[in-house]
Amino acid sequence: MGSKIAGKKHSPAGKIIVWVVLSIMAVIQIFPLVWLVDFSLASSNEMFTSGLLVMPKKIQWGNYAKAFVDGHFLLYLKNSIIINGLAVLLVLIISIMAAFAVHRMRWKLSGFVKTLLLLGMMIPIHATLLPNYKLYNTLNITDTCWALLIPYVAFSLPQALYLMTGFLDSVPIELEEAAVMDGCGIYRIVFQVVIPLLKPSIATVSIMTFLNNWNEFMMARTYLSSPKWKTLPFSVLEFTGQYSSNYAVQFAVMALTAAPAVIVYIILNKHITKGVAMGAVKG
């Protein structure tokens, strides 16, 4: 779409340049995926040949079979989907309400609360690992889904709030005033007037929260110990040896792990590009 708009404005030469640049960008973006799938079908030994891509002598579908069975793929996928789904949902609900509260409602501490929530962006995950572990252990929630859900929501919230407040600016306040005139309560304003208008930002926030947490491993490995709630990144670990690893199967696991994320991105792609652009202008 971008090239079409550019093409109208520029001469044919400009059009070619745009195409070339976009093609290069596309190759840079798509190549890692091709590479991932290519290596996931080779044997571990073939990987170390000097070429960029390998032509497997025999296509090793067995890598995927191993990834599924030995990597406990389905269990971890289920856990990942539950935890990520809930995290996205919670982040959306909290960030929309919080954005409305600190941005549209007038109260003494609204500015302070907003800053306080946004400050969360500056806290590095590493600094919280051990204290959180201690806290969760005292609360007896290590090795439960809460141990992941709470930090995932907490760490995604500042960014989500930031985006949501940006978007909220683009919603004309007159609409809310009209709604109040017609007798809307505060909840109907939020749920029936504001939320439908925030659709692109909801897509943006969901996709960002989802992608960030989908690959998260550091917190997962610290707060979880039994397989019950382990998420997908643990699957890769099942093939890590003491010194060297079964790389080919790890590639297969990574291809399988990446697939849902890629699919989610493709589905919400239209919204996210629109969402980010709009947020940029209005925020």
Partner 1 sequence: MRKKLIATMMAAVMTAGLITGCGSDGGKTTSGGGSSSKGGNETITLKLFSNLPDRKNGQGLVEQKIIDEYMEANKNIKIEVEALDEEAYKTKFKAYAMDDMPDVVSIWGQPSFLDEVLAAGTLAELNESDYSDYKFVEGSLEGFKKNGSLYGLPRNTDIAVFYYNEKMFNDNGWTVPETYDDLLSLSDKINDAGITPVAMDGGDGWPMAIYLTDLAFRIEGPAVADKINEAVAKGDFTDEVFSDATSLLVKSAKAGLFQKGYDSQDYGTAMNLFTNGQAAMFYMGTWESSMATNEDIPKDIRENIRVFVMPSVSGGTAKNTDLAAWNGGGYAVSQGCQNKEEAIKFLNYMYQPDKLSKYGWENGVGLSAQDQTSYTTGNETELQKQIMSLLTNATSMSGTPINDCGPSAFKTVIESEIQNVSNGTTSIDDFLLTIGKSCQ
Which positions lie near partner 1, rule CB under 8 A? 43-45, 47-49, 70, 82, 86, 89-90, 93-94, 97-98, 101, 105, 107, 129-130, 133-134, 137-138, 142, 144-146, 149, 186-187, 221-222, 225-226, 228-229, 237-247
Distance in angstroms (rounded) separating the CA atoms of residues 66 and 134: 36
**C-alpha to C-alpha distance for 51 and 46, rounded to whole angstroms:** 10
* CB-CB neighbours of 245 under 10 Å: 14
Of 164, 136, 160, nearest to 150 by C-alpha is 136
Distance CA 37, CA 44 (A): 14
CB of 246 to partner 1, least distance (A): 7
How many helices and strands (H and E) does the chain possess?
Answer: 14, 0
By beta-carbon proximity to partner 1, the closer residue of 149 and 272 is: 149
Q: How near is the Cβ of 105 to partner 1 at its closest, in Å?
A: 7
- The one-letter amino acid at 108: K
Q: How far is the CB of 211 from partner 1 (least distance, A)?
A: 20
Beta carbon of residue 254, minimum distance to partner 1 (angstroms, whole number): 15
CB of 199 to partner 1, least distance (A): 19
Nearer to partner 1, 70 or 169 (CB): 70
* Complex with partner 1: residue 48 or 122, whichever CB lies closer: 48
C-alpha to C-alpha distance for 201 and 204, rounded to whole angstroms: 5
Nearer to partner 1, 118 or 276 (CB): 118
Q: How many other CB atoms are there within 10 angstroms of residue 206's CB atom?
A: 23
Rounded Cα gap, residues 91 and 79, in angstroms: 18
Q: State which residue, 37 or 101, has the beta carbon closest to partner 1.
A: 101
